[in-house]
Homo-oligomer: A and B are copies of this chain.
Amino acid sequence: MTRPTEDPEELDRADPEGEIARAAEAYRNWGRWGADDRLGTLNLIDPAKRLEAAALVREGVTVSLAQSFDMNGPQKGWRRRTNPVHTMLDTGTDAERGSQGFPHGIGGADDVVAMPLQCSTQWDGLGHIFDHGRAWNGRAAGDVVTSDGDLVTGIEHASSAIVSRGVLLDVARWLDPERGELPDGYAISTGELEACMAAQGASSHVGQGDIVLVRTGRLARARREGWGDYAGGDSPGLSFTTAGWLHRTGIAAIATDTWGFEVRPNEFDLAFQPLHQVAIPNIGLTIGEMWDLEELARRCQELARYDFLLSAPPLPITGAVGSPINPVAVL
């Protein structure tokens, strides 16, 4: 089999199946962390990396990278993905009226949420995507994720894993210094990722165990213009051809400010999220989507520094294939 191309121009747009197969084989990490592995590239975060990350806390400033979780989100029902529905079990109005039945003037409010785990800022867990019926590490998809959830690689296994050095690659600002936004369909290439790193300076070096955050400006546009098809529609994003870079850098995870991480429309005549198919079940890469990188980008630009401590532990929902999160950068 020939090596997969890293040049978007060379992709055979008519052959997603073949391109995916080539990349999957070339970059597959199956077995790398043992047959029982549940973490994939999150294994690459080690204590030394966390010490390095902690040493990056110099201002003592935190930035939340989460979008809000509410009915004003981008979801429109595709594959039963709704926005979060938050309802109250008890309210202050009731407490104030004195009808809650509690003694000595205490009153309370409680609440409930019903939400898809992929509705807003999230991690895609290792059970989220399959390649020809195979899940991460080569397992049969049906052995991993049934209607009881992910029995093997549920997101709860990563509950203490995701604290590392984060690196922001503000590709949109680098390519479009004025506006800081990439157009829909813009496929970010490996060359551009590396050039952006170089342009941003030494603090942007990406190495093993790092978590890379790629800003495309897509969320900034949605905030300005309305959601439109933010969820599932066209978007800038990573080119399919960055799979090799995702693999050889040894990054632990990657996240973007877009719905789908990779460029949309995808770079094939007929395809659906082909980079996911390589990255999750084959590389074992945890992918973050719908992150809010706006304030972080401003801070990084201001400080002329692009790395920080990133704490983004998933909610350990047993058997979940993803998790809503509130990632925090500490600068």
Contacts and interface: CB of A to CB of B under 8 A. Distances in A.
**A interface SS class:** mixed
Given A48-B60, A88-B88, A131-B106, A324 B320 contact: no
Interface string A304-331: 0000010101111111111011101010
B105 A131 contact: yes
Interface stretch (A31-39, A168-176, A196-204, A270-278): A270-278
Contacts of A49: 60
A161 B62 contact: yes
Interface in A219-273: 268, 270-273
Contacts of A133: 95-96, 98, 105, 107
Contacts of A319: 70, 86, 111
Interface in A84-104: 84-99, 102-104
Contact of A93 (B55, B114, B146): B146
Given A61-B47, A64-B160, A93-B142, A69 B328 contact: no
B104 A141 contact: no
Contact of A86 (B146, B149, B274, B330): B149
Contacts of A107: 129-133, 141
Interface stretch (A3-11, A115-123, A177-185, A186-194): A115-123
Contacts of A64: 159-160, 313, 316
A277 B104 CA distance: 9
B104 A70 contact: no
A68 interface: yes
A128 B143 contact: no
Given A110-B322, A128-B109, A142-B99, A149 B88 contact: yes
Contacts of A141: 92-93, 95-96, 107, 109
Nearest to A318: B70
29 contacts: A20-B104, A20-B105, A46-B60, A50-B61, A53-B57, A62-B161, A62-B313, A64-B316, A69-B156, A69-B317, A70-B318, A79-B90, A80-B87, A86-B149, A86-B318, A87-B88, A87-B112, A87-B147, A88-B149, A90-B148, A92-B135, A92-B150, A98-B133, A99-B146, A106-B272, A110-B118, A111-B322, A113-B114, A311-B328
Closest 5 CB pairs of A and B: A47-B60, A92-B141, A92-B145, A54-B57, A50-B60
Interface of A: 16-17, 20, 46-51, 53-55, 57-64, 66-72, 77, 79-99, 102-118, 127-133, 135, 140-150, 156, 159-161, 163, 268, 270-274, 276-277, 309, 311, 313-322, 324-326, 328, 330
